[in-house]
């Protein structure tokens, strides 16, 4: 039986990288969103510019599930290289749409799916003369056909095309024509609509559609960042580029046309973080955007920034490791690398945004935290959040908000102060007062170094001042617990002894899995970790539950390790729930993993579910 | 090193500069380098240059990497902020500091290990970008702090203290700086203060990437016979190009010079450099000729010193980036944060 559904399906496009499919696929996803139906698209792409297979998956969910679901209901198979696997991956009763210009033998098809062939190449070859047009319009044509098959509102797609080509108006008409051609041909060839449909709804509201890297780049503008030093690396590159794009729009002095920002594409990641640290030392808000390999290279400098207490912000858009790993796949596998970056005793503050909205919020916040705590702040994105466009709440900014520059002594402060020492803990929170170079002719100058020093920044190798300083840094880290974003707790509908800890891009799949599990009779209290160091709310939550699943996207249960190490928790209490195959974690996976564990538990102790 | 702190009092008639500062106001803490170290002479040349230019010490930032040379910023300009960063990475830290505040003077102090080996890349790229700085390499051809290993500027055939000959070819930092596009390149010798002080002054006044390769013999590990970075060797192989006088805008040129031997160069702020030519026909503005001259002299075993190349109208990193006149670290919240109205527009474009 063909799958029947309204606003609840997964459509997957199998394309060839570099064929211009990306913008057509995005057009399809945004058309659905314009119809008021929530969509969660994901790009699955190779480390390649042209020629290798690439997929675009659109999850349509009236219920608003934004995580990857797993499985494909409708396959748009445009890539002969991956045909067999693509066809095999369709759910029974699902649909296959393909370019029938070249005949496909029946043996290459399946009996239990609905097969929809349309000679896209033939039509485009007939209609257009340039190879470029023939290629690009094939994509637009299938978007038109899908609109007919899925009962979509073609007017929304037409409107989007018109908006997209606002500045290149002559492209609008041909795009509209091809779109309409695909739509009409599908109507005349197939029984439209299919039992699987997309209908107008009102679940999108004022949501925006944006990728996390762009949101973080914009957040850095709002957070007052003025210096960016970076080295191109997937999947973080678009973050730096977004910052540059928004700065060009928002940070140019209207009178002089001069720039209120400086961006350096450095020679490597070492230089990137060096520039950030130099700028942070000198009182500018500075950041870098990178991925795991970049953080590996920055280790020595991160120890310096920690020990010399210099503000810095790093966006780590995590990808599949180790080594070059899977550069275009997603993982949360830099947690320990970032938390303990560098040699010697170091600890760093981490923020874990769950989506583009929090990418914006945490990006802006990270600069306040870096200045307040005078230390590197890591904003831990991943490829799934960073490079995929998601629906999220619109961004908000409090116009009364002032950038918190932290404890900085002005010339007047220095004149008024009885005593000033760069590393004196005046307020008892472990955070000393600093001066920017050039502040005062005779006061406030000091020497910044990665070597041991006393409270007045004087070089010393003596034991007591060294220990004193290291203890103060620990005390400062305690203060950080009160400043990082608090965890978000969602209680189960009924009391339960089972809890779940999760973070970052796992969020939408986790929420969906918890709903599914509740229907299975497994009730879970949820806590989403948003920052490291962990606050007492995290430890209290663990203490209040018999068993806590720690759901992560890495092999070694890195957040769990961090919890065990930092909070002295009994390892038996924290259950590893790990997906690390490079694909975004799915609700199906989490549900299955938790169910299996709960079944084992209840076999041993039936009371665990009560 | 000396353990005796200098007394605070001084002679009432001690020399003061236009700011009323004495030379003592440009000093730092006591050097912990070996007695007779060339680096200490460079430190005192830096202090002299800053004193003579009447620079307010707190408007100078001094940055360094790791090594004997990189320790020296502690020993001069005690009223300046200093940053002793990590090995080979001074250039990037200095670049960042410079981006944050274009109004300070940036003094990068490095060594041959720091800049020609571990930090060769950062040296190169900071020069390429035209960071407005004075980049001094205190070049002794040896790793002093780890006791005597060859560095990348040691000449092939030069002998270590233990008598081992260096087999690798040497990096000529000055030649490379010219090639990379430094707009001010000089070489000097720590033992020649009369040449070094005006060069440092001119480099400070240069609004771009100014590089000085300063040969600075290591008295502990590289001052023996067979070394090509010893005091004796450098003195006997020095091929000075020119002699420099630095003349501020305020001091009129009173002396007359013999035509043909003197070249007067006007700097961006109107101050002047008087170059007494030693090598005939050498033109400090000819970049290609400078490279040729360096290589020719090197082939004949001579060490070229003096002002090698200068572009009088340099283009610095802030020019390239077209940044606002206000230092970036002074921009306040309204200047930096676009506010909700702009965000509303962005939100609308994302639906």
* A60, A139: one domain: yes
**Is residue A398 in a domain?**
no
* A39, A133: one domain: yes
Asked if the model's pLDDT at residue B279 lies above 70, the reply is no
List the one residue out of B200, B269, B190 whose CA is nearest residue B231: B190
**Poorest-pLDDT segment among A419-423, A442-446, B2-6, B53-57:** B2-6
* A146, A45: one domain: yes
* A252, A361: one domain: yes
**Is residue A432 in a domain?**
yes
Amino acid B254: pLDDT: 47
By C-alpha distance, the chain B residue nearest A256 is B324
Q: If you ran DSSP here, which 8-state letter would residue B5 be given?
A: P
**Is residue A400 in a domain?**
no
Amino acid A603: pLDDT: 87
Amino acid B166: pLDDT: 92
Residue B59 sits at the chain A interface (C-beta within 8 Å) = yes
**Percentage of chain A with pLDDT > 70?**
99
The verdict on domain B23-334 having CATH code 3.40.50.970 is yes
Per-residue exposure over A86-103, b if at least 16 CB sit within 10 Å of its own CB, e if not: bbebbbeebbbbbbbeee
| Distance in Å, alpha carbon of B133 to nearest chain A alpha carbon | 14
SS3 B197: helix
Amino acid A609: pLDDT: 62
| Mean pLDDT value of segment A498-518 | 97
**Is residue A96 in a domain?**
yes
DSSP secondary structure string for all residues of B34-96: PTT-HHHHHHHHHHHHHHHTT--GGGEEEEE-SSHHHHGGGGB-TTSEEEE-STT-HHHHHHH
Amino acid B252: pLDDT: 47
Asked if the model's pLDDT at residue A285 lies above 50, the reply is yes
Amino acid B261: pLDDT: 61
Amino acid B135: pLDDT: 98
**Poorest-pLDDT segment among A243-257, A487-501, B97-111, B294-308:** B294-308
**B238 vs B319, which has greater pLDDT?**
B319
Amino acid A48: pLDDT: 84
Query: CA dist A157 to A161, A210, A388, B100, B308, Å?
Result: 6, 18, 20, 46, 65
Q: In the structure, what pLDDT confidence band is assigned to residue A437 with cuts at 50, 70 and 90? A: very high
Asked if the model's pLDDT at residue A29 lies above 90, the reply is yes
| Distance in Å, alpha carbon of B104 to nearest chain A alpha carbon | 7
**Is residue A401 in a domain?**
no
Q: What is the mean pLDDT of chain A?
A: 96
Which residues of chain A make contact with B84, given a CB cutoff of 8 A?
A: 447-451
Would you call A304 and B85 a contact, using CB atoms and an 8 Å cutoff? yes
Asked if the model's pLDDT at residue A473 lies above 70, the reply is yes
List the one residue out of B204, B199, B43 whose CA is nearest residue B134: B204
Which residues of chain A make contact with B85, given a CB cutoff of 8 A?
A: 274, 277-278, 304, 450
* A356, A372: one domain: yes
Dihedral sign for Cα atoms in the order B43, B49, B52, B58: negative
Asked if the model's pLDDT at residue B285 lies above 70, the reply is yes
Strand residues in A486-592 grouped as ranges (E): 488-490, 498-503, 525-529, 531-532, 547-552, 574-578
Q: How many distinct structural domains can be found in chain A?
A: 4
Residue B74 sits at the chain A interface (C-beta within 8 Å) = yes
Amino acid B276: pLDDT: 65
Residue A293's φ and ψ, nearest 5 degrees, are -60, -35
By C-alpha distance, the chain B residue nearest A390 is B350
Amino acid A608: pLDDT: 63
**Rounded to a whole number, what is the largest CA-CA distance in chain B?**
76
Asked if the model's pLDDT at residue A442 lies above 70, the reply is yes
Amino acid B161: pLDDT: 87
| Mean pLDDT value of segment B225-232 | 88
CATH number at residue A114: 3.40.920.10
Amino acid B275: pLDDT: 66
Asked if the model's pLDDT at residue B248 lies above 70, the reply is no
Amino acid B240: pLDDT: 85
Q: Which of A207, A227, A438 sits opposite B328 (nearest CB)?
A: A227
Task: Give the best residue of A202, A437, A449, A461 to mutate against chain B (max B CB count within 10 A).
Answer: A437
* A348, A423: one domain: no
Amino acid A408: pLDDT: 98
* A533, A581: one domain: yes
Residue B210's φ and ψ, nearest 5 degrees, are -105, 125
Residue B267 sits at the chain A interface (C-beta within 8 Å) = no
* A295, A336: one domain: yes
**Is residue A405 in a domain?**
no
Q: Which domain does A429 fall in, by range?
A: 411-481
* A41, A139: one domain: yes
Amino acid B300: pLDDT: 85
């Amino acid at each position: 039986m063909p799958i029947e559904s309204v606003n609840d399906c997964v459509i997957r496009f199998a394309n060839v990288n570099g064929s211009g499919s990306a913008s057509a696929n995005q057009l399809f996803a945004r058309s659905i969103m314009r119809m008021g139906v929530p969509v969660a698209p994901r790009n699955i792409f190779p480390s390649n510019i042209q020629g290798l297979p690439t997929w675009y998956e659109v999850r349509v969910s009236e219920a608003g599930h934004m995580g990857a679901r797993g499985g494909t209901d409708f396959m748009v198979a445009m890539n002969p290289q991956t045909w067999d696997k693509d066809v095999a991956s369709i759910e029974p009763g699902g649909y296959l749409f393909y370019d029938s210009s070249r005949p496909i033998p029946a043996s290459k098809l399946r009996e239990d799916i609905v097969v929809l062939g349309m000679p896209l190449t033939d039509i485009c070859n007939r209609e257009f003369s340039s190879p470029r047009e023939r290629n690009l319009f094939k994509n637009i044509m299938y978007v038109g056909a899908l609109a007919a098959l899925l009962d979509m509102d073609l007017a929304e797609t037409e409107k989007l095309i018109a908006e997209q080509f606002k500045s290149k108006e002559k492209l609008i008409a041909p795009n509209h024509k091809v779109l309409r051609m695909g739509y009409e041909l599908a109507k005349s060839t197939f029984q439209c609509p299919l039992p699987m449909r997309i209908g107008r709804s009102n679940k999108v509201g004022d949501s925006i559609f944006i990728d996390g890297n762009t949101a973080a780049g914009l957040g850095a503008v709002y957070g007052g960042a003025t210096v960016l030093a970076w080295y191109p690396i997937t999947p973080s590159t678009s973050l730096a580029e977004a910052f540059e794009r928004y700065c060009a729009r928002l940070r140019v002095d209207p009178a002089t046309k001069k720039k209120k920002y400086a961006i350096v594409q450095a020679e490597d990641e070492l230089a990137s973080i060096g520039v950030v640290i130099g700028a942070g030392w000198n009182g500018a808000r500075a950041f870098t955007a990178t991925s795991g390999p970049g953080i590996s290279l920055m280790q020595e400098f991160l120890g310096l920034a920690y020990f010399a207490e210099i503000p810095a912000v790093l966006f780590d858009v995590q990808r599949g490791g180790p080594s070059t790993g899977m550069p275009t796949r997603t993982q949360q596998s830099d947690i320990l690398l970032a938390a303990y970056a560098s040699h010697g005793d170091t600890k760093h503050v981490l923020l874990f945004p769950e989506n583009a909205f929090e990418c914006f919020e945490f990006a802006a916040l990270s600069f306040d935290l870096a200045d307040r705590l005078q230390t590197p702040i890591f904003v831990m994105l991943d490829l799934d959040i960073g490079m995929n466009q998601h629906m999220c709440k619109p961004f908000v900014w409090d116009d009364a908000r002032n950038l918190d520059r932290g404890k900085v002594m002005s010339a007047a402060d220095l004149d008024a102060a009885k005593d000033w020492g760069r590393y004196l803990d005046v307020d008892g929170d472990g955070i000393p007062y600093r001066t920017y170079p050039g502040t005062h002719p005779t006061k406030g100058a000091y020497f910044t170094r990665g070597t041991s020093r006393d409270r007045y920044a004087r070089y010393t190798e003596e034991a007591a001042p060294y220990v004193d300083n290291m203890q103060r840094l620990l005390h400062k880290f305690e203060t950080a617990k009160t400043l990082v974003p608090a965890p978000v707790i969602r209680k189960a509908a009924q009391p339960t002894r089972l809890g779940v800890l999760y973070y970052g891009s796992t969020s939408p799949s986790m929420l969906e899995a918890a709903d599914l599990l509740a229907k299975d009779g497994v009730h879970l209290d949820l806590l989403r970790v948003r920052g490291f160091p962990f606050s007492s709310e995290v430890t209290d939550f663990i203490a209040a539950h018999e068993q806590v699943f720690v759901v992560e996207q890495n092999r070694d249960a890195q957040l769990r390790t961090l919890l065990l190490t930092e909070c002295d928790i009994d390892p038996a209490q924290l259950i590893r729930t790990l997906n690390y195959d490079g694909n975004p974690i799915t609700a199906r996976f989490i549900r299955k993993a938790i169910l299996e564990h709960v079944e084992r538990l209840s076999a041993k102790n039936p009371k665990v579910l009560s | 090193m000396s353990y005796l702190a200098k007394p605070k009092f001084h002679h009432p008639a001690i020399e003061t500069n236009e700011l009323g500062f004495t030379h003592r106001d440009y000093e730092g803490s006591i050097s912990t380098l070996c007695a007779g170290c060339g680096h200490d002479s460079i430190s005192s040349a830096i202090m002299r240059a800053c004193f003579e230019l009447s620079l307010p010490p707190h408007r100078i930032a001094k940055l360094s990497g790791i090594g004997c040379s990189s320790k020296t910023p502690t020993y001069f300009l005690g009223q300046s902020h200093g940053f002793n960063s990590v090995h080979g990475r001074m250039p990037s830290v200095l670049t960042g500091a410079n981006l944050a505040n274009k109004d300070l003077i940036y003094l990068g102090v490095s060594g041959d290990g720091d800049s020609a080996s571990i930090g060769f890349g950062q040296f190169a790229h900071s020069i390429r970008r035209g960071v407005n700085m004075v980049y001094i390499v205190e070049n002794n051809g040896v790793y002093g702090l780890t006791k005597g290993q060859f560095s990348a500027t040691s000449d092939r055939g030069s002998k270590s203290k233990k008598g081992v000959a260096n087999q690798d070819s040497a990096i000529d930092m000055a030649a490379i700086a010219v090639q990379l596009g430094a707009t001010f390149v000089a070489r000097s010798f720590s033992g020649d203060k009369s040449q070094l002080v005006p060069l440092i002054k001119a480099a400070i006044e240069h609004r771009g990437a100014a590089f000085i390769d300063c040969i600075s013999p290591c008295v502990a590990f590289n001052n023996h016979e067979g070394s090509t970075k010893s005091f004796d060797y450098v003195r006997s192989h020095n091929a000075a190009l020119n002699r420099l006088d630095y003349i501020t805008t305020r001091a009129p040129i009173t002396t007359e010079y013999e035509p043909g031997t003197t070249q007067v160069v006007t700097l961006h702020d109107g101050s002047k450099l008087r170059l007494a030519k030693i090598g005939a026909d050498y033109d400090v503005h000819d970049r290609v000729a400078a490279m040729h001259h360096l290589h020719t002299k090197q082939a004949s075993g001579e060490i070229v010193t003096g002002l090698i190349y200068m572009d009088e109208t340099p283009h610095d990193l802030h020019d390239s980036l077209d940044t606002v006149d206000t230092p970036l670290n002074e921009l306040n919240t309204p200047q930096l944060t676009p506010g909700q109205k702009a965000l509303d527009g962005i939100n609308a474009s994302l639906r």
